Structure 1
Amino acid sequence: MEESLRLAVAVIGNAASVSLYAAPIVTFKRVIKKKSTEEFSCIPYIIGLLNCLLFTWYGLPVVSNKWENFPLVTVNGVGVVLELSYVLIYFWYASPKGKGKVAMVGIPVLLLFCIIAAVSAFAFHDSRHRKLLVGSIGLGVSVAMYASPLVVMKKVIQTKSVEFMPLPLSICSFLATLLWLTYGLLIRDIFVAGPSVIGTPLGILQLVIYFKYRKASVVEEPSKGDMEKGNLEKVDMEMEIVETNVTNRMNGNL
């Protein structure tokens, strides 16, 4: 029964995580369409890439005991492909300053992963110590990944606009963290459950902020009816001016 529950949570967690990694597709369609990264930040995607690389490595038999963490390999393997695609698209459409920022953050991140992989594979000779090294670093990176939307949340609060905090991303983030927290507790692995202890409350906070400022944005945004009413009022004023001018000219002629 417990094994079936773990499998069910892992499958649903995989689906939610893939949805989380796929959610920015909407954002990057906009980037490609406008040929501009606008005010979107590259940092969450680079941190997300490092997170996926680390947990793919963590789940492989090189680090884990055989295939005990196979669900981590499947979902994070998909995440590596998607996050790398986002970073490359961002780099392509970014301004020269933005390209420099991607390189300054991205290159050290990839080097860090290579060092961690090499040390875990060759410096340690048992699964326990390898998991301790990779899992500890992965835990820290995951917390940073789940905390990175705090920058966006700050911007939402300042601008009172949710334009740069898409709802699908917020929902998927909350669901994924909640499910992986459950899965980590079921398999008793602190490195799987740990990030979600931070991620789940942050996911809830993100949703609360979204719905609060979404309502504010809707209230502040003029409706189509108001715009049409304003246009009619403008036309009426212009007609009144014309009528006044005509009347004045007629009176002058008289």
Structure 2
Amino acid sequence: MVSEQLNLIRNIVAIIGNGIALCLFLSPTPTFIQIVKKKSTEEYSPVPYLATLINCLVWVLYGLPMVHPHNTPVLTINGTGIIIEVVFITIFFVYCGRQKQRLVIAAVLAGETVFVAVLTVLVFTLQHTTKERSLSVGIICCVFNVMMYASPLSVMKMVIKTKSVEFMPFWLSLAALLNAGVWTVYALIQFDPFIAIPNGIGCVFGLAQLILYAAYDK
């Protein structure tokens, strides 16, 4: 009975988590509308979107039943995230006026694709149980999830330097904090360290961004 109740609570939290994660992925939409209108990326950075893309790619791999069973919410929301991030990165690439930055974006995208492809092949050829696959892919997911949450650090540095939050979207920071909080709860109900640890760290990064926003918002 207790186990069934925990599963029910976990599923409810997962649904809430999926909704908040979708908001997180879509939160830069006003920024990209502005980019399209101005036909310029100005001083916005592509790093958060590239980091989010690789994060979603490895989490989709982690959510596959052959890697980690009973993790469908992780699979579905990150699959959706891949589509959204590809759209955002494409827009950024089109309206980026610096050729050097375009080359960097293309190189990072190629590197991410190759990395995930090689990881997938290695996991399914060298490891033969879900326990082994969950461990290896889970560790990698932890690393990239922390990188995703930490990716705005470059923007935070600019905020401190310029004393302006113009290029640090508020809704992205808020959604990141809420997303990290909900997925931390999800992971703690039936303890999954690979989801709990990076999202716990994400809570710290998200809170730091909001504090910075409050300090420099004019």
Would you say same fold, with TM above 0.5?
yes
Match of 1:189 among 192, 208, 211: 192
> Cα offset for 1:25?
1.0
**Please, what is the CA RMSD of the aligned residues?**
1.0
Larger Rg: 1
Provide the secondary structure at the position in 2 that maps to 1:173. helix
Greater length-normalized contact order (CA 8 Å, ≥ 6 residues apart): 2
Q: Does 1:30 align with 2:37?
A: no
Q: Does 1:172 align with 2:183?
A: no
> Could you say which residue in structure 2 is the equivalent of 1:235?
none
> Could you say which residue in structure 2 is the equivalent of 1:138?
141
Q: Does 1:158 align with 2:193?
A: no
Superimposed CA distance per residue, residues 131-175 of structure 1 (whole angstroms, 9 cap, x where no aligned partner): 111111111011111111111111111111111111111110000
> Cα offset for 1:108?
0.7
Match of 2:84 among 82, 85, 102: 82
> Cα offset for 1:42?
1.1
Superimposed CA distance per residue, residues 35-94 of structure 1 (whole angstroms, 9 cap, x where no aligned partner): 1111111111111001101111111112112xx000101110110100111111111111
Q: Does 1:4 align with 2:8?
A: yes
- Structure 2: distance between partners of 1:37 and 1:101: 15
Superimposed CA distance per residue, residues 165-211 of structure 1 (whole angstroms, 9 cap, x where no aligned partner): 11111110000000001101112111111111210011111101101
- Structure 1: distance between partners of 2:177 and 2:112: 25
- Structure 1: distance between partners of 2:48 and 2:55: 10
- Structure 2: distance between partners of 1:40 and 1:46: 13
> Could you say which residue in structure 2 is the equivalent of 1:44?
48
Q: Does 1:70 align with 2:72?
A: yes
> Cα offset for 1:104?
2.2
Give the counterpart letter for 1:54 in structure 2. V
Deviation beyond 3 Å, 4+ runs, structure 1: none
- Structure 2: distance between partners of 1:187 and 1:53: 23
> Could you say which residue in structure 2 is the equivalent of 1:57?
61
- Structure 1: distance between partners of 2:169 and 2:96: 20
Match of 2:212 among 205, 209, 212: 209
- Structure 2: distance between partners of 1:85 and 1:132: 31
Q: Which stretch of structure 1 is more off in the superposition, 87-96 or 73-82?
A: 87-96
> Could you say which residue in structure 2 is the equivalent of 1:247?
none
Give the counterpart letter for 1:168 in structure 2. W
- Structure 2: distance between partners of 1:3 and 1:62: 21
> Cα offset for 1:3?
1.6
> Could you say which residue in structure 1 is the equivalent of 2:104?
101
Q: Does 1:114 align with 2:117?
A: yes
> What's the TM-score, normalizing by structure 2?
0.95
Q: What 5-or-longer segments of structure 2 have no aligned partner?
A: none
Give the counterpart letter for 1:71 in structure 2. P
**Alignment: residue pair count:** 213
- Structure 1: distance between partners of 2:42 and 2:51: 20
> Could you say which residue in structure 1 is the equivalent of 2:152?
149
Give the counterpart letter for 2:116 in structure 1. F
> Cα offset for 1:17?
0.6
